[in-house]
Amino acid sequence: MESDASTSPRRRSTSCYSDSGDSSCSEPFSECGSDDLSFTPAAAAGIHRLLLSCAAEASEDAISSLVAKLECPSPSLDSLRRAAMELRLLAKHNPDNRVRIAAAGGVRPLVKLLSHADSLLQEHGVTALLNLSICDENKAIIVEAGAIRPLVLALKSAASPAARENAACALLRLSQLDGASAAAIGRAGAVPLLVSLLETGGARGKKDAATALYALCSGARENRQRAVEAGTVRPLLDLMADPESGMVDKAAYVLHSLVSSGEGRSAAVEEGGIPVLVEMVEVGTSRQKEIATLSLLQICEDNAVYRTMVAREGAIPPLVALSQSSSARPKLKSKAESLIEMLRQPRSPSLRARPAAVVATE
């Protein structure tokens, strides 16, 4: 839609976007949320010694004993909870323990816990797998044990918010194994669930959902289409337009992965993404200016209608300022200059006559 400074839907801000304090242009994704185990005060007093012991290396015999308790034909619920919690803590605190638990055959019985009716057991199982997945060598073992679908189910319906968030984080780590794993996670139905978590989750849940979506969409092309179809673009733009969300950078990078496809570009334009991106070029941090410029380049490439919309939104002046900035990286200046040249290309009479609201990919 054609607009000027007086009618633009963009929010003018005197302060720049920032959700990390880091203005570098590296990707804004740190590791996803960690195992944040908490207890009531009464329970915490009784478990203090266990926490201390789990911070140290455990013997192979001790770990094998815990795994055997999970595989016991008729265990008590308390025994299962205790064994699962100890394995969770052992994997949380010590890298060597992660290797030992996998070597002792602990992955498959932990996967089985994901479908257990007891919500606490389910949370212990999800989070133990999350902690084990920190070790790169364990990722393939977890995937081969059939963990993807149970983790997606936990993401969808686990009673505990912590279990749902940790399932998202575990799926993120497994998606980093290879493109096949990322595609399998998408086919198992994770993408719409992550979009829901992005929209309705708490602060940590939103960050984990964005990070997982970025990994899935970067790892498998088919997941980008799933993300667009699941309506990811609208909540991403809402987060990008809200500096108070603490999610500007993460959302912008996920959007950039989506606009590499025609469907993603169309959705970004239809949902009002051009004003948001132009404002980010104007007032964002260095990293945000770069990712917004790259996204606008993708949107404008091979589409004169989109170029018209971006130019009418007032993109050229901030891009010129960016291309002349002494603090901008040479690569960013070059991208800004390329986009300026693209926006200044003459339009054919037929294009001039077409409504600016037309957004169909040419």
351, pLDDT greater than 90: no
Give residue-wise pLDDT tens across range 31-84.
565 566 554 444 444 444 455 455 566 789 999 999 999 999 888 999 999 999
CB neighbour class for 274 (10 Å; exposed up to 12, middle 13-18, buried from 19): buried
Say what the pTM is: 0.81
| Amino acid 10: pLDDT | 41
| Amino acid 38: pLDDT | 52
CB neighbour class for 5 (10 Å; exposed up to 12, middle 13-18, buried from 19): exposed
| Amino acid 56: pLDDT | 61
357, pLDDT greater than 80: no
255, pLDDT greater than 50: yes
- Domain ranges (residues) in the chain: 57-230, 232-345
Give Cβ neighbours of residue 77 (< 8 Å, ≥ 6 apart): 118, 121
350, pLDDT greater than 50: no
Domains 57-230 and 232-345 share a fold: yes
| Amino acid 73: pLDDT | 87
Per CATH, the homologous superfamily of domain 57-230 is Leucine-rich Repeat Variant (1.25.10.10)
CA distance 70 to 125: 11
CA distance 101 to 103: 5
| Amino acid 33: pLDDT | 55
344, pLDDT greater than 50: yes
306, pLDDT greater than 60: yes
97, pLDDT greater than 90: yes
Give residue-wise pLDDT tens across range 204-240.
889 999 999 999 999 999 999 999 999 999 999 999 9
| Amino acid 55: pLDDT | 52
HSE-CB for 4 with a 13 A CA cutoff: 1
Taken in order 173, 178, 184, 187, the sign of the CA dihedral is positive
Give Cβ neighbours of residue 101 (< 8 Å, ≥ 6 apart): 63, 67, 87, 90, 91, 107, 128, 132
Per CATH, the homologous superfamily of domain 232-345 is Leucine-rich Repeat Variant (1.25.10.10)
List C-alpha distances in Å: 295 to 25, 254, 336, 353: 14, 10, 11, 26
For the chain, what is the mean pLDDT? 85
Mean pLDDT, rounded, for 248-258: 97
1, pLDDT greater than 50: no
Give Cβ neighbours of residue 45 (< 8 Å, ≥ 6 apart): none
| Amino acid 187: pLDDT | 97
